[in-house]
Amino acid sequence: MKPLDPIKKRRVTLKLVADRAGVHASTASRALNPVTRSMVLPSVAQKVLDAAQELGYHPDPVAASLRTGRSKLAAILVPDISNSVFAPILSGASERLATEGYTVIVADVGSDKDKQLNIASGLMARRVDGFILATVSKDDPLVAFCLEQNIPAVLVNRAEAQSRLSSVVSDDELGMQMAVDHLVSLTHKIIGHIAGPAQHSTGYLRRRGFGRAMARHGLTENSPCQIAKSYSRHEGAHAARRLLDSHPQVTAIVAANDLLALGVYDVFRERGINCPAEISVVGHNDMQLVDMIEPPLTTIRIDHHEMGRQAAELLRQVIENPDKAKHNVTLQPILIVRSSTAAPRKPKPQTRSER
Amino acid sequence: MKPLDPIKKRRVTLKLVADRAGVHASTASRALNPVTRSMVLPSVAQKVLDAAQELGYHPDPVAASLRTGRSKLAAILVPDISNSVFAPILSGASERLATEGYTVIVADVGSDKDKQLNIASGLMARRVDGFILATVSKDDPLVAFCLEQNIPAVLVNRAEAQSRLSSVVSDDELGMQMAVDHLVSLTHKIIGHIAGPAQHSTGYLRRRGFGRAMARHGLTENSPCQIAKSYSRHEGAHAARRLLDSHPQVTAIVAANDLLALGVYDVFRERGINCPAEISVVGHNDMQLVDMIEPPLTTIRIDHHEMGRQAAELLRQVIENPDKAKHNVTLQPILIVRSSTAAPRKPKPQTRSER
DNA sequence: ATGAAAGCGCTAACAA
DNA sequence: TTGTTAGCGCTTTCAT
């Protein structure tokens, strides 16, 4: 004599629906799945659909997943969810994936490659249908992992030199070109660069873009560069100090991203340097709120929301057709001029002796 | 004659492990599960563990889930992942849940209640073990849903008046008390409030906290308030305009959150009002970067990371013991004084005629 | 302490 | 076109 359980109501199963419609479970299954619906008489299909409706049937994705090996689950791996650059990427991607019927798992996986791999295999065990990776660095083991496991994956924001996977990134070189052109048009001649870590494509490509743009203006000799250890305000400040110590003559600094530019601001404050009167600064990303800081930051805007959207779309395509040719999408950034850039102050005659 | 598939390597199943260890699958299952391991001879358990190790066995959570009804999946619902307030909550909660073996699904569910309910039932179908809700407003249908479905859930950041579920929030009234005390100590007497939407506990409680604090100082008559339609810079500006138009005498404004305070800044800029010389401003949340804006914002800091952590911990407890008594955790905020607050300018004799 | 057997809810190969 | 059957990989009675 089992105690009956009045609280937990029974799950509505496919069998229940089938019984009510007077057909076999497999027929009900076919009727319910739009793809296989044509295998079933329209009249029967309608009966099944009605029965499902009446009973409030919701297919069990877990059971389906066990059976089919697919899950309608997509995972997005970010190195740091607190970094606000990723927020619009996530919302763009989630939005798109949700409309395609995917449930999105956002995993904050940190920067430790072993940890990342662990988390990725955990998700594989859950049979996620694909990954969007916002984490990759040069020769990333995660990419190797996805290739090995033969699981659909696309890169977003950061890519690889060898494009082993499809990707959506901003045109980092072009962005730097824009930044440099803008400064040169303001008649700057000695422009420093605070680069991001070289193992990230953003760090590497933006640095290259900076170098090329300066070369194009014949300013190669006047383009000192310091590489920040990470994309953080703290490391940005660190690099800025090194840059200013070694090249006090710079009249402008191009930072590889906004966080680094904020670090530059910190150093300006610390040393009483006026921006843009004494030194101009350009950031990269147009992170939220950089229009509110003082001075409002001139920067390169990337449409991260669109980036997420396109990555999601690409992933969907790869999931549907794993042999799809790789696509490397490059988004056009735009220059946003605010108040951190201005023409350089005319060098006072006694400038040299001043220090 | 089936074509053999040299690419897709076979999944290592429990049966495989059992065979290799020379036991039955059920024994292997018992040996692998720490909880049931004691039902098995230590020597046998060891053999199974070794076999699993050698084969690189990973239990299939999908199959386990189908069988047990549990999933080791936890979902966090946020209204807007782009709002940077949620980032530290998410990372705090994810971190904690991950160490407990949960995989976290972050769902960006928007503000539409029907959409939220749809997404929640979708996740229920996936058999998530529990929800963390960062979305709730007054009498939220999502809370009713969780109660009905009898699924573990805890609230974070925003709570309900009737505490139908456990929650972790900041002490919103205390925060406002701190803000008002600070301004009063600077000798402000006429202080306005830009409130958040009343259907959110943060909006309602902060407003009440403001009113009570002003009353405590005997300033009830001098505490005009405007309610913003949403927590956004835009609505903050809107409310600020209304406040300044109706009460031009205010010397300080307490905003219900930082985003609203930024809107106030926008209006100051638009009207040429100097902050803090003419009007002081206090925010709430200590969102990232508000120390960089001009002037750096005095605000109430909430430890959102800790908030997420504690919500996760609470959720774990509720999942383990659904009959656990409700806990309503209140975190202490702290006042962060920066440069948006100062003593009010001494009213010039001709102030009144000036306008 | 271990094995046998059933079944979670679904889908798909096969048969009719 | 529909039903039969088997099984995805696991856990959990039940029997031994």
Strands A280-282 and A328-331: unpaired
Q: pLDDT, tens digit, for every residue of B291-307?
A: 989 899 999 999 999 99
Average pLDDT, chain A: 92
Percent of chain A topping pLDDT 70: 94
Same domain, A184 and A112: no
> B294 and B208, same structural domain?
yes
pLDDT tens, residue by residue, B140-153: 999 999 999 999 99
User: Which tokens hold the place of A52?
Assistant: 């499902």
Q: Which of A66, A95, A106 sits opposite B62 (nearest CB)?
A: A66
Which pLDDT value is given to residue B347?
55
Q: What is the least distance, in Å, from the CA of B250 to any CA of chain A?
A: 23
| Separation CA A150–CA A191 (nearest Å) | 45
CA B284, CA B299: separation in Å to the nearest integer? 5
Q: How far apart are CA A321 and CA B125, in angstroms?
A: 27
**For residue A70, what pLDDT band results from cuts at 50, 70 and 90?**
very high
Same domain as B245, residue B134: no
Q: B7 falls in which pLDDT band (50, 70, 90)?
A: very low
Q: Do A207 and A138 share a structural domain?
A: no
Assign 3-class secondary structure to A280-296.
EEECCECCCCCCCECCC
For residue B355, pLDDT beyond 80: no
Residue B180 has pLDDT above 60, yes or no: yes
In a domain, B106, yes or no: yes
Tell me which residues of chain A have a C-beta less than 8 Å from any C-beta of chain B: 7-8, 58-63, 65-66, 71, 80-84, 87-88, 90-91, 94-95, 98, 103-108, 119, 121-123, 125-127, 150, 262, 265, 288-290, 292-294
Chain A residues close to B294, C-beta within 8 Å: 292-294
User: pLDDT-derived band of residue B83, with 50, 70 and 90 as boundaries?
Assistant: confident
pLDDT score of A205 more than 70: yes
Assigned token pair, B176: 């406002």
User: For residue B264, is it within any domain?
Assistant: yes
- Indicate the pLDDT class of residue B4, thresholds 50, 70 and 90: very low
Per-residue pLDDT reduced to its tens digit, B318-338: 999 988 999 999 999 999 999
How far: B243 CA to C9 C1' (Å)? 59
Q: Looking at the domain assignment, is residue A17 inside a domain?
A: yes
Nearest-CA residue relative to C1' of D8: A67
Half-sphere exposure of B109 (CA within 13 A, CB side): 27
Looking at the complex, report in whole angstroms how far the Cα of residue B94 sits from the nearest Cα belonging to chain A: 7
Q: Is residue B350 part of a domain?
A: no
Residue B1 CB burial class (10 angstroms; 0-12, 13-18, ≥19): exposed
For range A223-251, the mean pLDDT: 97
- Per-residue pLDDT of B220-265, as tens digits, reads 999 999 999 999 999 999 999 999 999 999 999 999 999 999 999 9
The pLDDT value recorded for residue A165 is 95
Residues 6+ apart with CB under 8 A from B8: A150
Could you tell me the pLDDT band of residue B164, with boundaries at 50, 70 and 90?
Answer: very high
- Domain housing B19: 8-59
Q: What number is the average pLDDT over the span A97-107?
A: 91
Using pLDDT thresholds of 50, 70 and 90, give the confidence band for residue B162.
Answer: confident
- DSSP per position, A290-352: TTTBSSPPBEEE--HHHHHHHHHHHHHHHHH-TTPPP-EEEEPPEEE--SS--PPPPPPTTHH
Average pLDDT across chain B, whole number? 92
Do B261 and B250 have their domain in common?
A: yes
Asked if residue B339 is part of any domain, the answer here is: no
Query: Domain with B247 in it: what CATH number?
Result: 3.40.50.2300
Are residues B122 and B215 both part of a single domain? no
Q: Which of residues 36-75 of B touch strand C (CB under 7 A)?
A: 39-41, 44, 63, 66-67
* Shortest CA distance from A294: residue in chain B: B294
Look at residue A84 in the predicted model and tell me its pLDDT. Answer: 85
Are residues A190 and A281 part of one domain? yes
Q: Does A13 contact strand C, using a CB cutoff of 7 Å?
A: yes
Q: For residues B186 and B282, state if they share a domain.
A: yes
CATH number at B53 reads 1.10.260.40
Contacts of B68 (CB under 8 A, 6+ apart): none
SS3 A326: coil
Structural domains in chain A (count) = 3
Domain termination residue (choose one: B37, B59, B81): B59
- Cβ contact, residue pair B62, A65, below 8 Å: yes
Domain boundary among B301, B320, B344: B301
The predicted structure's pLDDT at residue A255: 98
Where does the pLDDT of residue B82 fall: very low under 50, low under 70, confident under 90, or very high at 90 and above?
confident
What does the radius of gyration of chain A's CA atoms come to, in whole angstroms?
Answer: 27
Check pLDDT > 90 for residue B349: no
Q: In the predicted model, what is the mean pLDDT of residues A93-109?
A: 92
The rounded distance, in Å, linking the Cα atoms of A226 and A235 is 11
- Same domain, residue pair B241 and B259: yes
Query: What pLDDT score was predicted for residue A347?
Result: 55
Please indicate, yes or no, whether residues A178 and A297 belong to a single structural domain of this protein.
yes
In a shared domain, residues A72 and A166: yes
Mean pLDDT for B94-121 is 92
pLDDT in tens, A15-24: 999 999 999 9
Closest CA to B124 of B159, B73, B89: B73
Task: Tell me what the mean pLDDT of segment B181-201 comes to.
Answer: 97
Q: How far is B143 from chain A (nearest CA, A)?
A: 18
Gap from B259 CA to chain A (nearest CA, Å): 10
Q: What is the pLDDT of residue A183?
A: 98
| pLDDT in the model for residue A352 | 38
Separation between the CA of A308 and the C1’ of C13 (whole angstroms): 39
Lowest mean pLDDT among A235-239, B123-127, B174-178, B260-264: B123-127
Residue carrying the six token digits 């009900």: A28
Average pLDDT over residues B129-158: 94
Question: How many Cβ atoms are within 10 Å of A13's Cβ, its own excluded?
Answer: 16
- For strand D, which nucleotides have at least one atom less than 7 Å from a protein CB? 1-5, 7-13
pLDDT value, residue B6: 36
List the structure tokens of B87. Answer: 């980032």
Which structure tokens are listed for A295?
A: 């001075």
Give yes or no for a contact between A138 and A281, defined as CB atoms under 8 angstroms apart.
no
Q: Residue B3: inside a domain, yes or no? A: no
CB pair distance less than 8 Å for B265 and A292: yes
Same domain, B74 and B38: no
Whether A343 maps to a domain, the answer reads no
* SS3 at position A166: strand
CA–CA distance, B212 with B189 (Å, rounded to integer): 15
In a domain, A352, yes or no: no
**In this model, does residue B5 exceed pLDDT 50?**
no
* Residue B36 predicted with pLDDT over 60: yes
